[in-house]
Amino acid sequence: MKNKIQIFNDEKSLNGMRNACKLAKSVLDYIDEYVKEGVTTLELNDLCHKFIIDNHAIPAPLNYNGFPKSICTSVNDVICHGIPSNYVLKSGDIINIDVTVILDGWYGDTSRMYKVGKCTKLAENLIEVTKRALYVGIDAVKPYGYFGDIGRAIQQYIDTTGYSIVRDYGGHGIGNYFHGEPFVAHYDTKLRGEQILPGMFFTIEPMINVGKFKTRLLKDEWTVVTIDKSLSAQFEHTLAVTENGIEILTE
Ligand code: MF3
Ligand code: CO
Ligand code: CO
């Protein structure tokens, strides 16, 4: 079922996804004021967890393939899947908070970067470039186009910056499940890929590194870091494809 791209061609599904994605976005808005020096990533987790539960939803990461917390918090050289902990945020840190909620059976998945105190120009530039990379990818999505268009467009842009694009992780189909086909590459695979059709829901979530693109998995079996300890950033939206274009459901 999830090894085939799913098509949801009914208004009920679209509305379910709209509501879940809207809530996921509101979690990222809600947590913004708490992301500052001195807070632990576990405290951010607990605040998001309560907000999600209070809104009649479920945090999808919790117990997902054994993931122990409700959100992912990825600081500095952590690329993705950082586990909330007693780590205390300090001035100069950059952190990605990735939220996925399940509302009424539908999954909304989105992440963004937050700056803690005063960051370097390099960190600020990486964040701006990564956000732009997400939108370059989104602009490449056309009904009846191909998934390969997305990574090609992002790579064309990132090649002008000197940064690198993570290859080991990508976007994914989503809907009434967390992760399904297709794997959405954020780099140029030189392949056309599957056709993008109305009724598809998927994420685009480029991870951009200042240094090398290669990844390393920590012994906790979740935390993904850059091999050269360079900074990494990520932004994510969930999209719906319609006959006329796309909807950015988490915007
Ligand atoms: N939200 C992540 C994504 O964008 C997945 C996190 S899975 C977890 O696909 F188990 F690490 F939470
Ligand atoms: Co995702
Ligand atoms: Co996510």
* Residues present in the chain in total: 251
- CA of 93 from ligand 2 middle (Å) equals 23
The two structure tokens encoding residue 77: 């050289």
pLDDT in tens, 175-208: 999 999 999 999 999 999 999 999 999 999 999 9
The pLDDT of residue 1 is 53
- CA of 217 from ligand 1 middle (Å) equals 14
- CA of 122 from ligand 2 middle (Å) equals 25
Instruction: Enter the pTM of the model.
Output: 0.98
Counting ligand 1 atoms within 8 A of each CB, the residue from 79, 97, 102, 109 with the most, and so the one to mutate, is: 109
247: part of which helix (H) or strand (E)?
strand 246-248
CA distances from 66 to 135, 172, 220, 221, 245 (A): 32, 19, 11, 10, 37
The pLDDT of residue 2 is 58
Question: What's the CA dihedral at 11, 59, 124, 210 to 10 degrees?
Answer: -100
- Residue of minimum CA distance from atom 8 in ligand 1: 61
Collect the ranges in the chain with pLDDT lower than 70.
1-2
Residue 72 Cβ contacting ligand 1 at under 6 Å = yes
Residue 96 Cβ contacting ligand 1 at under 6 Å = no
Give the integer Cα–Cα distance in Å for 147 and 152. 9
DSSP-derived pairing of the beta strands 78-80 and 224-226: antiparallel
- CA of 72 from ligand 3 middle (Å) equals 8
- CA of 31 from ligand 1 middle (Å) equals 18
Residue whose pair of structure tokens reads 């499940």 in the numeric block:
177
Counting ligand 1 atoms within 8 A of each CB, the residue from 25, 48, 71, 80 with the most, and so the one to mutate, is: 80
The pLDDT of residue 3 is 76
Question: What's the CA dihedral at 140, 143, 146, 150 to 10 degrees?
Answer: 20
**Helix, strand, coil % in the chain, rounded to nearest 5:** 30, 25, 45
